[in-house]
Amino acid sequence: WKYENYLRSSESPYAAAMSLAEFVANTPKTRLSIEHIYPQNPKQVHVVEDQSILPPATKEFQEGWLHSLGSLTLDPLKANMEKTNNEFEVKNSRFFCRAPYKTQNELDLFMGSTSRWDETAIAKRRDKILDFALQYWKYQDV
C-alpha cells in the first residue's frame, strides 16, 4: 500500500493516494489480495503462445522466485480470481497494463529489452521495492 502510494505521487502520470479506508475495504469488489505475477500453478495454464516471455517453471524458479517480493502485487480479490493461473502475457496485456494500480502498471519497465518476466525482471522489481521500504521507514535511524 505504501509502495503503491509512493508510485502514485512520484511517477507520472500522478494519481491520488489510496486511502487507508480503500486499502482495508472488505467489500467483494474492493477487498485486496496478493497476486502472483507469474502463475503459481503453471502446469494448469493453457499453452502460452509466446514461450519466450516466461522462464521455465523449474523447481529452482518456483522455490527462489515465485513468491519473491518482486513477483507479488496488490490486486482486488475479485480480479485476482479472474486471472487464475493465466500466463503472464495474458495477465499483463489484459489486466496489469490496464489496472488502476501503479504497482501493476510498472511491470513492463522491469522486463526491459528482453520482454521476459524472469529472474532478472523479478530481481529488479524486488530491489526497487526494497529500496523504497528502506528509505520510507528510515531503517538507518532505528
Distant-in-sequence, close-in-space partners of 45: CB < 8 Å, separation ≥ 6: 39, 85, 86, 87
CA 3 to chain centroid: 11
Asked if the bond preceding 39 is cis, omega within 30° of 0, the reply is: no
pLDDT digits 0-9 by tens, 10-43: 999 999 999 999 999 998 788 999 999 988 876 5
Residue pLDDT, tens place only, 79-137: 888 887 788 888 888 889 888 999 999 999 999 888 888 899 999 999 999 999 999 99
Instruction: Provide the whole-model pTM.
Output: 0.83
| C-alpha cell read off for 75 | 490486486
Q: What is the pLDDT of residue 46?
A: 45
Residues 12-51 as b or e (16 or more Cβ within 10 Å = b):
eeebeebeeeeeeeeeeeeebeebbbbbeebeebeebeee
